[in-house]
Amino acid sequence: MGSMDGRLVLVTGATGGLAKAVAAGLAREGAAVVVVGRSMDRTEEAMDAIRTQVPGARLEPLACDLSVQSSIRSAASDFLSRHERLDVLVNAAGVFRKERHVTPDGLELTFATNVMAYFLLTNLLLDALQRGADAARPAGTPGARIVNVASRYGNTSLNFDDLQTATGKYSFLRSTPPTMLARVLLTQEFAERLRGTGVVANAVHPGLVKNTALLQDVGGPFRWITNTFGVPAGKAADTAIWLAGSPETAHVSGKLWAKRKELPTPGMGSDPGARKRLWEACTSLIKHS
């Protein structure tokens, strides 16, 4: 029996790279994994690939364009129509974009995918995660988990007057690092709001992951450095898998991790006011129609 037998996991961005490796690793541990991808075709291809690594893996496809809020709502509704509970949510989808794009919701694409998707999908699935935590308590198994793939963010801070990089010259070096900080702040705020519920939330810094499609659009030196010095996705996935299933992390919440060790969250990442302000900003950008 695997350590995740009987557990239901949902992994976003699981059609490639790190997220697919996380999905495969959790399936190997016995979890039933909902594989989320932008299209059903890509999701089915990813499931076939995972099954070559993990014969007998219990997988379920879920199509969702995480840059579009109506698609997120539809995917969440689809999931909830089939499952009452969720034990682990792994938010791992992300984008790097060379040029500025605007989504149908009127949001900058990088912010919409890297931040708003984490915020909205997690909130839509909170009741299911709570039921997962409640179901775990009588059995004595660890409660429900939220694992957010993020990153060390260096000296980055959020410009609350320009969260979507609408002013100045756009570049992925300006737009993407703040979204990693935002993920850490949202993780902390979820952890605070879920304190005592049996649902924990943690963020993970996987480091540079080589040979993925994530940097396909930006190319250049950063992609070369990543592919040269990064680690394979299977190795980079270790800490996320550990956070998702280990008894050691069942009661740890609101932290940033790398290589199974807690990382500091300097600067704005240690500011409770910033995380509350970000929560409010995200709430105001939710489309209800």
Mapping DSSP onto H, E and C, the string for the chain reads CCCCCCCEEEECCCCCHHHHHHHHHHHHCCCEEEEEECCHHHHHHHHHHHHHHCCCCCEEEEECCCCCHHHHHHHHHHHHHHCCCCCEEEECCCCCCCCCCECCCCCEHHHHHHHHHHHHHHHHCHHHHHHHHHHHHHHCCCCEEEEEECCCCCCCCCCCCCCCCCCCCCCHHHHHHHHHHHHHHHHHHHHHHCCCCCEEEEEECCCCECCCCCCCCCCHHHHHHHHHHCECHHHHCHHHHHHHHCHHHCCCCCCEEECCEEECCCHHHHCHHHHHHHHHHHHHCCCCC
Q: Indicate if the pLDDT at residue 183 is higher than 70.
A: yes
Residue whose structure tokens are 């682990």: 88
- What pLDDT is attached to residue 142? 65
Interval 118-122 mean pLDDT = 98
Confidence of residue 234 (pLDDT cuts 50, 70, 90): low
pLDDT value of position 229: 44
Residue ranges of domains in the chain, CATH in brackets: 8-284 (3.40.50.720)
Residue 218 has pLDDT above 50, yes or no: no
Greater confidence (217 vs 280) lies with 280
Q: What is the pLDDT of residue 26?
A: 97
pLDDT tens across 129-149, in order?
999 999 866 565 668 999 999
Q: Which pLDDT does position 16 carry in this prediction?
A: 82
pLDDT of residue 77: 98
pTM of the model: 0.91
The band of 201, judged by pLDDT with boundaries at 50, 70 and 90, is: very high
Q: What single letter denotes the amino acid at residue 36?
A: V
Report the pLDDT averaged over residues 201-228.
Answer: 58
Percent of the chain at pLDDT exceeding 90? 74
pLDDT of residue 217: 46
Residues with Cβ within 8 Å of residue 71, at least 6 apart in sequence: 64, 65
Tens of pLDDT, residues 39-64: 999 999 999 999 999 999 999 999 99
Of 19, 4, 16, nearest to 58 by C-alpha is 4
pLDDT of residue 208: 53
Please choose, from the candidates 182, 172, 168, 17, the residue with its C-alpha nearest in 3D space to the C-alpha of residue 110. 172
CB atoms within 10 A of CB 80: 15
What does pLDDT average to over the chain?
Answer: 88
Banded model confidence at residue 175, pLDDT cuts 50, 70, 90: confident
Q: In the prediction, which pLDDT does 110 show?
A: 92
Site of tokens 């198994």: 141
pLDDT at residue 222, rounded to an integer? 44
Q: Are 258 and 207 in contact (CB under 8 A)?
A: yes
Half-sphere exposure for 247 (CA within 13 Å, toward CB): 4
